[in-house]
Amino acid sequence: MVDNKNEPLIESGPSPPAEEPTPEEPEDRSALIEAKKRRIEELEKSLGKAPCERSSSPRRDRDGDRDRDRDRYRDRDRDRDRDRDRRDRDYDRDRDYDRDRDYDRDRDYDRDRRYHSRRDRDYDRYDRRNNNRNRNNRRTYNQRSDREKMMQVDDPFAHLRQANANPKVDPVNFAKQVAQQQRNARQLVLQQQAVSAVQAAKKTQRELYIGNITPGTVTESMLRDLFRNTLVATYPEETQGGAIDPVTRVSCGEGHKYAFVELLLPEMATACIELSGKVQLGGSVLSLGRPVGYRAPEEAAAAAHAASNALAKFQAEVAIKELEDKEVTLEELEARVTPYLCIDGVVDKEALRGLKDDADGEDQGVDDPRKAFIKEVTDDVQEELERHGTVLWLSLVGDEASDAYFGKMLVHFLNDTDAEKARAAIDGRLFDGRNLVVARLSAKTYAEASGLV
Pair type for strands 259-263 and 287-289: unpaired
| Domain assignments of the chain as residue spans, ordered by start | 200-295, 298-450
Residues 110-161 pLDDT 10s: 777 777 677 676 666 666 666 555 555 544 444 445 445 545 556 666 666 6
| Alpha carbon distance 414, 195 (integer Å) | 8
CA–CA–CA angle 92, 93, 95 (5° rounding) = 65
**How much is the pLDDT for 83?**
84
Q: How far apart are CA 100 and CA 94, in angstroms?
A: 10
Q: CA separation (Å) from 31 to 19, 21, 42, 59, 245?
A: 22, 16, 16, 22, 130
The band of 8, judged by pLDDT with boundaries at 50, 70 and 90, is very low
In the prediction, which pLDDT does 342 show? 93
Homologous superfamily (CATH) for 200-295: RRM (RNA recognition motif) domain (3.30.70.330)
Contact 227, 261 (CB under 8 A): yes
Asked if residues 420 and 429 have their Cβ atoms less than 8 Å apart, the reply is no
pLDDT cut 70: percent of the chain above it: 75
Number of H helices, E strands in the chain: 13, 12
How large a percentage of the chain has pLDDT more than 90?
Answer: 11
Confidence of residue 5 (pLDDT cuts 50, 70, 90): very low
CA distance 142 to 318: 42
- The conformation of residue 368, written as its DSSP 8-state character, comes to P
Number of residues written out for the chain: 453
Residue 136 is predicted with a pLDDT of: 52
pLDDT tens string 182-202: 888 888 888 888 888 877 766
**Pairing of β 280-281 and β 409-413:** unpaired
Per-residue pLDDT tens over the stretch 410-446? 999 988 999 999 999 999 998 888 899 999 999 989 9
- CB count within 10 Å of CB 301 equals 16
pLDDT, residue 31, reads 86
Q: What is the pLDDT of residue 356?
A: 67
Radius of gyration of the chain (CA): 57
What number of other Cβ atoms are within 10 A of residue 306's Cβ?
14
Which amino acid does the sequence have at 128? Answer: R
Q: Across-strand partners of 249?
A: 262
Which tens digits make up the pLDDT trace of 100-109?
A: 777 777 777 7
Q: What integer is the mean pLDDT of 44-61?
A: 60
- Rounded Cα distance between 198 and 393, Å, is 9
**Residue of higher predicted confidence among 62 and 392:** 392
Average confidence (pLDDT) over 244-257:
87
Q: Is the distance from CB of 121 to CB of 129 less than 8 angstroms?
A: no
- 247-276 mean pLDDT: 87
- State the pLDDT at residue 3: 46
Cβ partners under 8 Å of residue 298, min gap 6: none
By mean pLDDT, which of 43-52, 329-338, 382-391 is the weakest? Answer: 43-52
Q: Are 311 and 319 in contact (CB under 8 A)?
A: no
Give the pLDDT confidence score for residue 360 in this predicted structure. Answer: 53
Q: From residue 78, give the alpha-carbon distance in Å to each of 68, 73, 74, 86.
A: 15, 9, 6, 12
Check if 200-295 and 298-450 are the same fold: yes
Pairing of strands 434-435, 430-431: antiparallel
pLDDT at 247 > cutoff 60: yes
Q: Enumerate residues 6+ apart whose C-beta is below 8 A from 39.
A: none
What are the Cα distances from residue 316, in Å, to 264, 303, 420? 35, 20, 19
Give the SS3 label for residue 263: strand
Q: Is the dihedral of CA 23, 26, 32, 34 positive or negative?
A: negative
Structure confidence at residue 366 (pLDDT) = 46
The pLDDT value recorded for residue 139 is 47
Closest to 384 (Cα-Cα) out of 430, 338, 339: 430
- Mean pLDDT over each residue of the chain, to the nearest integer: 78
| Furthest-apart CA atoms within the chain: distance in Å | 206
Q: What is the pLDDT of residue 341?
A: 93
Instruction: Tell me the β-bridge partners of 415.
Output: none
pLDDT in tens, 291-307: 887 777 777 788 888 88
Rounded Cα distance between 199 and 201, Å, is 5
pLDDT in tens, 10-30: 444 445 454 444 444 455 788
Beta partners for residue 440, in sequence order:
341
The amino acid present at 234, given as its one-letter code, is T
SS3 state at 249? strand
Predicted pLDDT of residue 71: 76
Of 41-55, 63-77, 194-208, 302-316, least confident by mean pLDDT is: 41-55
Bigger pLDDT: 163 or 121? 121
**Between 168 and 37, the higher pLDDT residue:** 37
Task: Please identify, in words, the CATH class of the domain defined by 298-450.
Answer: alpha beta
Residue 127 has what pLDDT? 65
What's the pLDDT band for 49 if we cut at 50, 70, 90? low
Q: H or E stretch including 38?
A: helix 24-46
Least confident of 16-30, 150-164, 204-218, 275-289: 16-30
